[in-house]
Amino acid sequence: MSDIGVLTPEEFGAGRNDATAMGVARMLQEGAQQFDIIDSESDMSKHKVVILPDSIPVSEKLAGKIDKYLAEGGAIIASHKSGLNEQKTEFALKALGVKLKGEAPYNPDFIMPKGAIGAGLAETEHVMYMRGMEVEAEADSEVLADAIIPYFNRTYRHFCSHRHTPSAGKVGYPGVVKNGRAIYFAHPIFAQYNQSAPRWCKRLFLNALAMLLPEPVIKLEAPTTTLASVNEQSAENRWIVHLLHYIPERRGQAFDIIEDVIPIFNVEVSVKIPKDAKSVICVPENEHLEFQQENGRIKFVLPKLEGHQMISLNF
């Protein structure tokens, strides 16, 4: 059950796009978002938002399909080289509202969020470690965040002892651009998150998603280490909410392990439902939870989550 589709290229799984795929999956999971992995042949109309992460080339056929999807009320988020034509010479996806000028001349540079795109972040410059694209916003587009340039690129000619040169405080080019129901990030935020997990990359992305999808399937008031999924069991006329809270730890060199189950308490849950519910029950304990219904959502509090909990929403 998902309102979000993540578009992957044909070579997914061959190693080339694994970093991007892992980055977008982790961001969505940590944001308690429900999503499907789709390809260019999938039916996009099933999803309210389609994400093109970092390096999705767009053919003329795919551009037409996405334009039709947007015209019918869909929304997209694209980043870095996604939306470029197959030759990477210009944006085939005109709906993004940006023109290509080339690779960003500075790396690292900084993002200065403003307004809704910066919710939950300090009003300061956030370093973007991976090189982005230099774009120009079209006249009807809105720049949600500027890219701020450093004093110079860190090279043997101009050296700074820190990991990156400090900001010069000057706007260089757009960092995040909104055009209607399309939002474009100039940086490879998903590959960057997979590499070093900057909180600001995830926060910027989830804020953009909230602008396009204000009513997701599920909302949680819980640590980002909590995973959530919602499954429909139509024959039983119920939905099952799965909540998991396990924290893997790299104690050895080969892989992550989970040894300690750390409980969390009073987890607030809100689920978008298509009809009235008659009961909310913890399974298999058969413990009934109090709930409220308003504005197409059902809200309840799980007193304790210790590892895994199933909750049945019965209609």
Q: Tell me the pLDDT tens digit for each residue of 128-186.
A: 999 999 999 999 999 999 999 999 887 778 777 677 888 999 999 999 999 999 999 99
Q: Give the number of other CB atoms < 10 A from CB of residue 79.
A: 31
* Joined tokens for residue 247: 């924290």
The pTM (predicted TM-score) of the whole model is: 0.94
Average of pLDDT values for 288-305? 97
Given this model, what pLDDT does residue 217 score?
97
Q: Average pLDDT of 248-273?
A: 95
Separation in Å, CA 44 to CA 6, 40, 300: 10, 9, 31
Evaluate whether 245 touches 305 at the Cβ level (below 8 Å). yes
Integer-rounded Cα radius of gyration of the chain = 21
pLDDT of residue 136: 98
Residues 6 or more apart whose Cβ sits within 8 Å of residue 243: 220, 222, 226, 227, 228, 267, 269, 302, 305, 308, 309, 311
Cα–Cα distance, 219 to 213 (Å, whole number): 12
Q: By percentage, how much of the chain surpasses pLDDT 90?
A: 89
Digit-coded pLDDT (tens) for 7-48 = 986 544 444 458 898 999 999 999 999 999 999 999 999 999
CA 269/CA 275 separation, integer angstroms? 17
Amino acid of residue 99: K
| Rounded-to-integer distance, Cα 280 and Cα 287, Å | 8
What does the mean pLDDT of the chain come to?
94
CA dihedral 57→105→124→52, nearest 10 degrees, is 0
- State pLDDT tens for residues 9-18: 654 444 445 8
Instruction: Please state which of the ranges 87-91, 149-153, 219-223 shows the lowest mean pLDDT.
Output: 149-153
pLDDT, position 10 = 57
**Residue 12 pLDDT:** 44
Set out the domains of the chain in order of their start, with CATH numbers. Answer: 4-212 (3.40.50.880), 218-314 (2.60.40.1180)
State residue 88's pLDDT score: 93
Residue type, 97: G
Q: Once rounded to an integer, what is the mean pLDDT over residues 202-211?
A: 98
Q: Do 230 and 241 meet the contact criterion of CB atoms below 8 Å apart?
A: yes
Q: To the nearest whole percent, how much of the chain has pLDDT over 70?
A: 97
Task: State yes or no: pLDDT of 297 exceeds 80.
Answer: yes
